Amino acid sequence: MAVPIAVLDCDLLLYGRGHRTLDRFKLEDVTDEYLVSTYGFPRQFICYLVDLLGATLSRPTQRSRAISPETQILAALGFYTSGSFQTRMGDAIGISQASMSRCVANVTEALVERASQFIHFPKDEATVQTLKDDFYGLAGMPGVLGVVDCTHVAIKAPNAEDLSYVNRKGLHSLNCLMVCDSRGVLLSAETHWPGSLADCTVLEQAALTSQFETELHKDGWLLGDSSFLLRTWLMTPLHIPETPAEYRYNMAHSATHNVIERTFRTIRSRFRCLDGSKGTLQYSPEKSSHIILACCVLHNISLQHGLDVWSAPATGHMEQSEEEYEQSESVDSEACRVRQELLLTHFS
């Protein structure tokens, strides 16, 4: 009687037992055009990731068959940029769908381990001043250290009883708080917040707030939209501008804040696993959060490598927050004073 073998791991069928590295796909065997079209990135970028993550991805495991760091990285990039574990992707590098899943998990954790290396605010005075100067060059808004906003990424329902991840549209999501510079480089990324939380609540509870209120920057601020409350370190638009200075302030604020909207579009265009076009992330909230953060790390690395062309808007569903409802003005009198001084000094 024939024994069905479809359920067996194809790695075992092809290679058998024994400690060996699976190297069925070679970078040198394919063109640059193929790498970009299939994995989303050019050869030099992929080779950099192999050097960066190779030692971590080669850690000894209990498994009898190792997959090379190069193959693991290609598998993960294929998923991040296509949003799918399709058989075609596994076939392209010669691994099973189960192995694809393990590769994505391994590379994701390796990138998350390095998040603080690639996503952080500058600390030295010269770099901070350059940051402000670059923002000022956009629309004349002084003192800007970053623009902040939230975006939602759809995930599968954790369980039927857990409503904490259901957002205002009735979908399960993570609400991700991010800050970027004038080029779209991410300076902060908190990707774990439940989708039911309003943007202002996320910011109130975020590490970012603690960072700015206890450590950072008495001579600058972030820019946030109307879904956030005015703070001494967070300048928001005026709800009802009346004077010419107030209109100029709002126009400069909007033009500068637009950078993060373009950054969100770039991230979802490059990493289709986040845009909803192939469905929601089919993982737990924790694993989904790590995948989002890994894509944020790759976004910053890509900018370091000159891959900084702003992408065209995607048609998927990585939702930017629509909490453009007006909040009551901040009762923080010091924050109101700081904004009023900014208006008088730079926009009158």
Q: Within this chain, do residues 133 and 104 fall inside the same structural domain, yes or no?
A: no
- Statement to judge: residues 103 and 138 lie in one domain: no
Segment among 69-73, 139-143, 180-184, 311-315 with least mean pLDDT? 311-315
- 293-306 average pLDDT score: 96
Query: Where does a domain end: 79, 96, 113?
Result: 113
Domain contains 129: yes
Contacts of residue 269, defined as CB under 8 A and 6 or more positions apart, other chains included, come to: 275, 311, 312, 313, 314
Are the beta carbons of 108 and 294 closer than 8 angstroms? yes
> Does 231 lie in the same domain as 186?
yes
Residue 78 and residue 124 in one domain:
no
Residue 7 inside a domain? The answer is no
Is residue 135 over pLDDT 80? yes
Q: For the whole model, what pTM was predicted?
A: 0.87
Same domain? For 156 and 201 the reply is yes
Q: How far is CA 197 from the centre of its chain?
A: 18
In a domain, 194, yes or no: yes
With 70 as the cut, is the pLDDT of residue 119 above it? Answer: yes
**3-state DSSP of the chain:** CCCCCCCCCHHHHHHCCCCEEECCCCHHHCCHHHHHHHHCCCHHHHHHHHHHHHHHHCCCCCCCEEECHHHHHHHHHHHHHHCCCCHHHHHHHCCCHHHHHHHHHHHHHHHHHCHHHHCCCCCCHHHHHHHHHHHHHHHCCCCEEEEEEEEEEEECCCCCCCCCCECCCCCEEEEEEEEECCCCCEEEEEEEEECCCCHHHHHHHCHHHHHHHHCCCCCCEEECCCCCCCECCEECCCCCCCCHHHHHHHHHHHHHHHHHHHHHHHHHHHCHHHCCECECECCCHHHHHHHHHHHHHHHHHHHHCCCCCCCCCCCCCCEECCCCCCCCCCCCHHHHHHHHHHHHHHHC
pLDDT band at 257 (very low <50, low <70, confident <90, very high): very high
Assess whether 126 and 102 both reside in one domain.
no
Does the structure show a pLDDT above 50 at 22? no
Residues 47 and 142 in one domain: no
What are the tens digits of pLDDT across the range 181-236? 999 999 999 999 999 999 999 999 999 999 998 876 667 999 999 999 999 999 99
Same domain, 107 and 132: no
Domain identity same for 254 and 125: yes
Domain final residue, candidates 48, 81, 113: 113
Range of the domain at 180: 120-283+332-347
215 and 126 belong to one structural domain: yes
Q: Please check whether residue 200 is in contact with residue 327, taking contact to mean a CB–CB distance below 8 angstroms.
A: yes
Tell me the torsion sign for CA atoms 151, 154, 158, 160.
positive
Give the count of domains, the chain. 2
pLDDT at residue number 85: 67
Examine the domain organization and report whether 102 and 185 are in the same domain.
no
Q: What is the mean pLDDT of residues 252-278?
A: 93
Are residues 182 and 154 located together in one domain of the fold? yes
Give me the chain's average pLDDT, please.
85
Residue 211 in any domain: the answer is: yes
